[in-house]
Structure 1
Amino acid sequence: MMWSMSRTSVLETFLADHPASTADRAVTDYAGLQAWSVADPAAFWESVRSFFDIRLGGDLEDAVITRSDDPRVFSGRQFYRGTTLNYVETVLRHADARPDAVAIVDDAEPGGPDTRTVTWRELVHEVSVIADALRSLGVGRGDRVAGYVPNTAEAAIAFLATASLGAVWTSCGQDYSPAAAADRLGQTEPVVLVTADGYRFAGKDRDRRDAAAELRDAVPSLRHVIAFSRLGTDVPGATSWTDLMRDGDDVSTVVPEPVPFDHPLWILFSSGTTGKPKGIVHGHGGVVLEHVKSAALQSDIGPEDVFFWYTSPSWMMWNYLLAGLLCGATVVCYDGSPASPATGTLWELAARHRVTVLGTSPAYLAQCETAGLEPGRDHDLRLVRMLGVTGSVMPASAHTWVEQHVGDHVHVASISGGTDVVSAFVCAPTDVPVRPGEIPAVALGVALEAWNDHGESVIGESGEMVITAPMPSMPVGFWNDETGDRYADAYFSTYPGVWRHGDSITVTERGGVIIHGRSDATLNRNGIRMGSADIYSVVEHLPDVEEALVVGVERADGSYWMPLFVVPAPGREVDDTLRETIATALRTEASPRHVPDDIVAIPAVPHTRTGKKLEIPVKKVLLGADPAVVADPESIDDPDALRWFGEYAARTPAASGGA
């Protein structure tokens, strides 16, 4: 059955329709449902599939979770083998019930394109037109279509059109340089590029026509380009999106092609900490199951909701935003800065579009607090019932600020997950009370534990976050990893057969989770995971730089500090001129988000004796740890280089979050 549009929560309806029990009690609330979802995953996921009427072709008698071909790993391939579906069929069937309701709101900064709405009827038509165009260009099952796009309705439509054919979508935002985009998208050997003439950000038009041309030249597999306009200009050599729509009146309605449950839906990218970003492949079926569970069961999103998460096509939250369409909700695509033309722009957008579920980051909330904003007074936010927050650790003080300055009716839903599963491991369901400074619940179907250094599960103390059983949206694999060795090494090399995610957490006695930050060297700035390798590849090619080291530090006040430490070339010094040179190079050759908060001169970069930079030990030292404890001095090529960071942290308030 499809879920009701009543205000009875989806979770309540689900529990009424699917009675279940754990070993010691009937399931009557979220905690009981979470315990059951882990104790009997086959029954739980089949209940999710049935409740949301996820229609599968093939033999449903197979076990929902099957044995892995590789005992070291588990993945999205272990669910519903032998069945077929298409992500897009689940989305577009909402058009049958509500063809004239709004599916997508497309908005931009003042000076950009006018706000437009796309009804469900129009969404079906536009997806059909682009799917027909892609098919005419030779795109078929398994081919890759790349998006170099801003966050717009066209980006969502291009993805849906691609997936409807059984082709595979991959994308990044246009703030990435052509070289950085090619490092990601080029790995997949896409045959078609979907792009735009540019975008507007922070009050300025950003013309990306030359960048799109450079990207096309850098990816030899590309045969065609489809381009839409945000700045009122044409992209030379590209098929015009506007022309396709104008000539598409007679295009037949797309019929999504059934594909195997684990058939690739999209390819997202890792941060690239140790080299080129890895292509993370998710399957149609696993994403559908995970996203309806997460958006509907946990966040109570349904057809009456307007869902807006500030995001970018470079970030997995863009993919998660589209889960609103799976649930029949209206989604808001916003192309621009959340703080332009004013710091409170995000709140203004939420009020104007009657948003019910809004998503942002701790950094934006801190920015609003610093600016002295009163969003609840200055904007009509009575319809905002949930504020999702992710991207970094949310300090307890942010909860208080939201209650006092946004509204005490708002459920603050701090979540944490990853690109790896394109979802959250821990969450704040609408039916669970929120405790400031703690994420109140483990997500449904997630067998999460904190393990100490001995591989033992611990409660009330910090440990490594591990997942001990498969989730349907775990990757079906990495791109170009035929043996599966890279996949196994990424998640299962520390604890064979158990997923290690790289977060340091505490599981509380109440069942909540406190996130302490990344336990590895991945940079996680405002929710965008980046690799240090992306920064080194730019900075260490500058003639005035000998070597560099970058870390991301989650400070005690909840802010995130990303300093870059630089060893200048002989005869040079790290002055304002060199700092500007570094910042400009990173902004143009990587992206603006790769520009560090501080650029600091150091005498030497500490390495292991095999030459690996000691990013994790340096981060720990900057957080106050003793250099002699975080790494064995005998294992370091220059112990004095690590000790320097201890002295720097002691004399620098910025390292600990001080003034």
Structure 2
Amino acid sequence: MVHEGELLWTPRPEYAAASNVAQYMDWLRRERGLRFADYHDLQRWSVTDIEGFWSSIWTYFDVQSETPYTSVIDRKVMPGARWFEGSRVNYAEHLLRHEGDVTRSANRTVFHHLSETRELAQMSWGELGNQVRVLATQLRAMGIQPGDRIVSYMPNIPETAIAMMATVAIGAVWSSAAPEFGVKTVIERFSQIEPKLLFVADGYRFGGKDFSREQEAQEIVSRLPTLKQVVWLPYLHADAKRPAKARLWSELLDQPAIPRDAFRYERVPCDHPIWVVFSSGTTGLPKAIVHSHVGVLVEHLKLMHFHINLKPESVMFFYTTTGWMMWNLVIATLLTGSASVLYDGSATHPSPDRLWRLADVTRCTSFGASPTLVQIMDKEGLRPGREHDLSALEGILVAGSSATPEVFEWLYRHVKRDLWVTSQSGGTEICSGFVGATPTLPVYAGEIQARMLGMDVQAWNEEGRRVVDEVGELMLGTPSPSMPLYFWNDRSGARYLEAYFERHRHVWRHGDYIKFNERGGCYIYGRSDSSLNRYGVRIGTAEIYRCVEQLPEIVDSLIVCLELAGGRFFMPMFVELRTGCELDERLRERIGELLRRQCSPRHVPDQIYQVEGVPYTLTGKKMELPVRKILMGTPIDKAMSRDAMMNPSTLDWYLDFTREQREMLTG
């Protein structure tokens, strides 16, 4: 069994030297006379000389602007810092700039795409570029202006990517909801931003079952009074009933080709919105987070090149839906000139190795999934490295929640030994990562390799002091470009301030627990707002899950801490067991002893209960805080949204438990 912090992989010297970040360091030495001993030295410079670092990103990647910028950053204060004032850029223009790469053919593949509805196919850079230009021109003809909001209720297919790029190309503002979202969740999001046009598909297929969205589409259209246009995509059935006055996707795209030099991108100012992305919305109204073109452009150029190490010959896959910010990053792959793999469907249908088969046939170089999905693969007994040709695979990206040492171990044991396994952590708030990976550093079990470039990430204790080798709050000391411009309908900034700056006026408090070690690696220990308080000691939930889920009987687990009357605490644990297993006294004792031995006596729950399942958000995160609120008596409609859940039926057990244990929970 691998232990936390155990060395698992060291990059070959030639691999590290050929990496994008190493090439960038060589450029800094040649062009700017800057020499750095290693990645950590470079990272320290990137957060102390903010102007020098971000101006180098601008120059190194040859950002195209209508006008020169007057300053890299107007003031080093959060929130409110303005980036690259005076510039006028367009994010979509940079996504498609590699279409015209004179050294490569426009016929090369930009998208490999597969779904449970369609066979595997490819789209070329030339096809993509033309369809984006045609659709963007049609949107302009329909009266869409810069700043108008365009929303999507579509699956992870090329049409959705085309719609997003066409929207951004003309300066309109994009927002997306995945088709598995229920009407309530969609309306909670889209009604906030008053969209003018909706792209909608008639449904999707998952796990071999069709899910029609004809009725949902009708209701969404009826409840968004600002809509002027609807574009309908018959994805499941050619004869699906569309909303009144909706125009067919095929009609809009059936137009003469538009050459690259005949199309004008709307280059926009530094504070022009590119999209609105939403928090998960498990409680309350989702936060409508607004980013800028220039902010996400420079951030994604840095992220995709230096922290995911994509190159023009790369092929990237990440298992996501269009309702998660990881979908935006899959499209950001295009900034590097590499290809993306789009997949719409179940990760385990018709066989548990569905995604590895896809990685094999597409010659995937970078494969991504959540740690939860990797754990499912482990429990299914998959052996991808033995059963599939993964010779092209160079890296694995795990994101969405904390990755345990066991996740790392499984990937190295059953996928590939020479593999750059990367765990990264960030958030929808910045549409990127705070801490992540670099191909020039070793990989240690369960450890995130480093702070990302330009991210002044720190761990603070409760006294507000920066700490090392101690769990603290994840704080950001200086601004970064892809921080939100604002929240929609929060022009005073009150909700934005409350979310991240309530405790410290000019320091970003993200809400995660993090620990850095002396070598600069780090561990995420879960959300601080769902942390456990045991006799005044704060405990992250991730360390408990990692320990308990070693036991072969346990499929999944969830733990919360409840504050009861009289200053008392009650910490129950809920476990889902393998078929045929029972939570008897012996298993309870084994769980307690394991936690006591590997963690501490404070980690041992007060009671352990067997449940039918653990509730998850649609992005694969355990719903600790909503479950805690339900157990404390919060009405379910105020504690969470069932439409924002992956498995809403699991809630019924917790609701019954709350009713049965009301006296104990409130007494």
Interval of TM-score (by shorter of Structure 1 and Structure 2): 0.7 to 0.9
| Equivalent position of 2:310 in the other structure | 301
| Equivalent position of 1:131 in the other structure | 136
| Cα shift readout 1:56-107 (whole Å, capped 9, x = no counterpart) | 23233x3312126xx6x325x5211121100011112111113111111221
Pick the aligned partner of 2:226 from 204, 207, 221: 221
The answer on 1:326 being equivalent to 2:335 is yes
Alignment-mate amino acid for residue 322 of structure 1: I
Alignment-mate amino acid for residue 12 of structure 1: A
Question: What is the percent sequence identity of the aligned residues?
Answer: 37
Pick the aligned partner of 1:107 from 109, 114, 117: 114
CA change 1:22–1:414 in 2 (3 A) is farther
Pick the aligned partner of 1:368 from 358, 373, 377: 377
User: What is the rounded CA distance, in whole Å, between the counterparts of 1:374 and 1:286 in structure 2?
Assistant: 41
CA change 1:47–1:118 in 2 (3 A) is same
Secondary structure in 2 aligned to 1:57? coil
| Equivalent position of 1:8 in the other structure | 18
| Equivalent position of 2:40 in the other structure | 31
| Equivalent position of 2:653 in the other structure | 599
Aligned ranges 1:193-232 → 2 under 5 Å: 193-232=198-237
User: What is the rounded CA distance, in whole Å, between the counterparts of 1:351 and 1:7 in structure 2?
Assistant: 27
CA change 1:259–1:22 in 2 (3 A) is closer
CA change 1:595–1:325 in 2 (3 A) is farther
Aligned ranges 1:173-192 → 2 under 5 Å: 173-192=178-197
Pick the aligned partner of 2:510 from 501, 504, 510: 501
User: What is the rounded CA distance, in whole Å, between the counterparts of 1:289 and 1:199 in structure 2?
Assistant: 34
User: What is the rounded CA distance, in whole Å, between the counterparts of 1:121 and 1:262 in structure 2?
Assistant: 31
| Equivalent position of 1:48 in the other structure | 57
Contact 1:179 1:590 in 2 (8 A): no
The answer on 1:381 being equivalent to 2:385 is no
| Cα shift readout 1:333-356 (whole Å, capped 9, x = no counterpart) | 111111111111111111111111
| Equivalent position of 2:27 in the other structure | 17
Shift of residue 391, structure 1, vs aligned partner: 1.2
Q: Aligned residues, how many?
A: 563
CA change 1:296–1:177 in 2 (3 A) is same
| Equivalent position of 1:619 in the other structure | none
Shift of residue 553, structure 1, vs aligned partner: 11
Contact 1:182 1:219 in 2 (8 A): yes
CA change 1:470–1:594 in 2 (3 A) is farther
User: What is the rounded CA distance, in whole Å, between the counterparts of 2:97 and 2:131 in structure 1?
Assistant: 15
Pick the aligned partner of 2:495 from 486, 495, 512: 486
Shift of residue 254, structure 1, vs aligned partner: 3.0
Contact 1:414 1:427 in 2 (8 A): yes
| Equivalent position of 2:549 in the other structure | none
Contact 1:132 1:251 in 2 (8 A): no
CA change 1:295–1:590 in 2 (3 A) is closer
Q: Which TM-score applies when normalising by structure 1?
A: 0.79
Aligned ranges 1:433-512 → 2 under 5 Å: 433-512=442-521
Secondary structure in 1 aligned to 2:341? strand
User: What is the rounded CA distance, in whole Å, between the counterparts of 1:640 and 1:115 in structure 2?
Assistant: 55
| Equivalent position of 2:11 in the other structure | none
Contact 1:20 1:26 in 2 (8 A): no
Alignment-mate amino acid for residue 105 of structure 1: H
User: What is the rounded CA distance, in whole Å, between the counterparts of 2:287 and 2:270 in structure 1?
Assistant: 22
Alignment-mate amino acid for residue 447 of structure 1: D
Alignment-mate amino acid for residue 599 of structure 1: W
| Equivalent position of 1:641 in the other structure | 665
CA change 1:596–1:603 in 2 (3 A) is closer
User: What is the rounded CA distance, in whole Å, between the counterparts of 2:20 and 2:383 in structure 1?
Assistant: 32
Secondary structure in 2 aligned to 1:480? coil
User: What is the rounded CA distance, in whole Å, between the counterparts of 2:265 and 2:258 in structure 1?
Assistant: 18
Contact 2:370 2:401 in 1 (8 A): yes
Aligned ranges 1:280-319 → 2 under 5 Å: 280-319=289-328
CA change 1:52–1:249 in 2 (3 A) is closer
Contact 2:171 2:274 in 1 (8 A): yes
Secondary structure in 1 aligned to 2:73? coil
The answer on 1:146 being equivalent to 2:156 is no
Secondary structure in 1 aligned to 2:222? helix
Aligned ranges 1:555-574 → 2 under 5 Å: 562=623, 564=627
Shift of residue 274, structure 1, vs aligned partner: 4.9
| Equivalent position of 1:616 in the other structure | none
Alignment-mate amino acid for residue 197 of structure 2: V
Q: Which TM-score applies when normalising by structure 2?
A: 0.79
Shift of residue 279, structure 1, vs aligned partner: 0.4
User: What is the rounded CA distance, in whole Å, between the counterparts of 2:657 and 2:282 in structure 1?
Assistant: 21
| Equivalent position of 1:255 in the other structure | 264
Q: CA RMSD in A?
A: 3.4
| Equivalent position of 1:85 in the other structure | 89
Secondary structure in 2 aligned to 1:83? coil
Contact 1:303 1:328 in 2 (8 A): yes
| Equivalent position of 1:618 in the other structure | none
Alignment-mate amino acid for residue 641 of structure 1: L
Alignment-mate amino acid for residue 79 of structure 1: W
User: What is the rounded CA distance, in whole Å, between the counterparts of 1:114 and 1:223 in structure 2?
Assistant: 34
| Equivalent position of 1:424 in the other structure | 433
Alignment-mate amino acid for residue 394 of structure 1: A
CA change 1:329–1:642 in 2 (3 A) is farther
CA change 1:586–1:36 in 2 (3 A) is closer
Contact 2:149 2:172 in 1 (8 A): yes
Greater mean deviation of Cα atoms: 191-200 or 233-242: 233-242
Greater mean deviation of Cα atoms: 232-241 or 183-192: 232-241
Secondary structure in 2 aligned to 1:504? strand
User: What is the rounded CA distance, in whole Å, between the counterparts of 1:210 and 1:174 in structure 2?
Assistant: 12
User: What is the rounded CA distance, in whole Å, between the counterparts of 1:468 and 1:382 in structure 2?
Assistant: 41
Contact 2:16 2:22 in 1 (8 A): no
Shift of residue 211, structure 1, vs aligned partner: 1.1
| Cα shift readout 1:218-267 (whole Å, capped 9, x = no counterpart) | 11111111122321324423211122222344688532111012310010
User: What is the rounded CA distance, in whole Å, between the counterparts of 1:350 and 1:398 in structure 2?
Assistant: 19
Alignment-mate amino acid for residue 285 of structure 2: K
User: What is the rounded CA distance, in whole Å, between the counterparts of 1:220 and 1:521 in structure 2?
Assistant: 37
| Cα shift readout 1:332-382 (whole Å, capped 9, x = no counterpart) | 111111111111111111111111111101111111111111100111111
Shift of residue 521, structure 1, vs aligned partner: 4.6
| Cα shift readout 1:268-319 (whole Å, capped 9, x = no counterpart) | 0113355210100010011011111011012210211111111111101001
Shift of residue 186, structure 1, vs aligned partner: 1.6
Shift of residue 212, structure 1, vs aligned partner: 1.1
User: What is the rounded CA distance, in whole Å, between the counterparts of 1:174 and 1:310 in structure 2?
Assistant: 15
Contact 2:360 2:388 in 1 (8 A): yes
CA change 1:381–1:525 in 2 (3 A) is farther
Greater mean deviation of Cα atoms: 240-249 or 415-424: 240-249
CA change 1:419–1:454 in 2 (3 A) is same
User: What is the rounded CA distance, in whole Å, between the counterparts of 2:575 and 2:268 in structure 1?
Assistant: 43
CA change 1:441–1:642 in 2 (3 A) is farther
Alignment-mate amino acid for residue 67 of structure 1: R
Contact 2:178 2:322 in 1 (8 A): yes
CA change 1:37–1:639 in 2 (3 A) is farther
